[in-house]
């Protein structure tokens, strides 16, 4: 896509940016002039990206990686994209250690990283925080109960935090994708994948780059009156 966004001079931190949606976001932000640091359990290998191995469930690792960012007011943009889906299964048979990991990565990881970065944004008097929920967090999806709950928590966290920060120049929004063509979705298996496509009014999965453009717009000055919002990107699949 040829759309461009004015992000020169802005620094960004993208969690989960080594692949999938996070990688597409990181690359698009760089292409539009931002300097980008990626935090992921597996460092991103790209000459245009600064990268560190960070597990968002580990507060010590977060603090250490944050201390290595170069400027006291970095980052101006935080994209909380680290996520773990697991597999579709009934909740009664879902092992506790796995659903606890889903909550820890998706919800608590978002909260941990945000709490660590927020003092720098408050000191600078500016910032954009984009959290990743999911369509599952709005509608609840059978066989993905824990992921739905964690995503719903991200949505509620976004709305609550946005009210705290709206008068401080820091805007907090949430992106809630439907099924996007990533390894995380394809790992659910062909049957689940086909069902998602069938349920889509557009009869396809979204692409990571389509999600990245929504995030880049939210990071730009064109998005000046948006905070506490949840942006569906589902190809018409969202029902409300």
147 is catalytic: yes
| Alpha helix stretches (DSSP H) within the chain | 20-31, 59-67, 96-103, 109-124, 135-139, 145-165, 183-186, 190-199, 208-219
The angle subtended at Cα 214 by Cα 213 and Cα 220, nearest 5°, is 85
CA distances from 47 to 1, 11, 34, 50, 80 (A): 22, 16, 14, 8, 22
Q: Which of 175, 130, 172 is nearest to 151 (CA)?
A: 175
The catalytic position among 84, 147, 171, 240 is 147
Residue 227's SS3 state is: coil
Beta carbons of 14 and 29 less than 8 angstroms apart:
yes
> 100-108 — which CB contacts under 8 Å span 24+ positions?
101/57, 102/146, 102/147, 102/150, 103/146, 103/149, 103/150, 103/153, 104/57, 105/56, 105/57, 105/150, 106/82, 106/147, 106/150, 106/151, 106/153, 106/154, 107/150, 107/151, 107/153, 107/154, 107/157, 108/57
Instruction: List residues with catalytic annotation.
Output: 147
């Amino acid at each position: 896509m040829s759309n461009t966004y004015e992000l020169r001079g802005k620094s960004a931190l993208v969690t989960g940016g080594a692949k999938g949606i996070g990688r597409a976001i990181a690359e698009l932000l760089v292409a539009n002039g931002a300097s980008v640091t990626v935090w992921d359990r597996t460092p991103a290998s790209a000459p245009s990206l600064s990268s560190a191995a960070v597990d968002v469930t580990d507060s010590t690792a977060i603090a250490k990686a944050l201390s290595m960012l170069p400027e006291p007011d970095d980052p101006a943009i935080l994209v909380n994209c680290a996520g773990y889906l697991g597999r579709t299964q009934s909740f009664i048979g879902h092992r506790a250690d796995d659903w606890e990991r889903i909550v820890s990565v998706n919800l608590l990881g978002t909260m941990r990283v945000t709490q660590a970065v927020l003092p720098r944004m408050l000191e600078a008097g500016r910032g954009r925080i984009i959290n990743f929920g999911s369509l599952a967090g709005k509608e609840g999806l059978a066989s993905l109960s824990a992921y739905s709950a964690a995503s719903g928590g991200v949505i509620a966290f976004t709305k609550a935090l946005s009210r705290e920060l709206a008068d401080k120049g820091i805007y907090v929004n949430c992106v809630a994708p439907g099924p996007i063509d990533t390894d995380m979705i394809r790992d659910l298996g062909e049957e689940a994948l086909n069902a998602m496509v069938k349920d889509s009014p557009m009869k396809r999965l979204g692409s990571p780059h389509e999600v990245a453009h929504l995030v880049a717009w939210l990071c730009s000055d064109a998005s000046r009156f948006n905070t506490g919002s949840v942006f569906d990107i589902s190809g018409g699949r969202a029902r409300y």
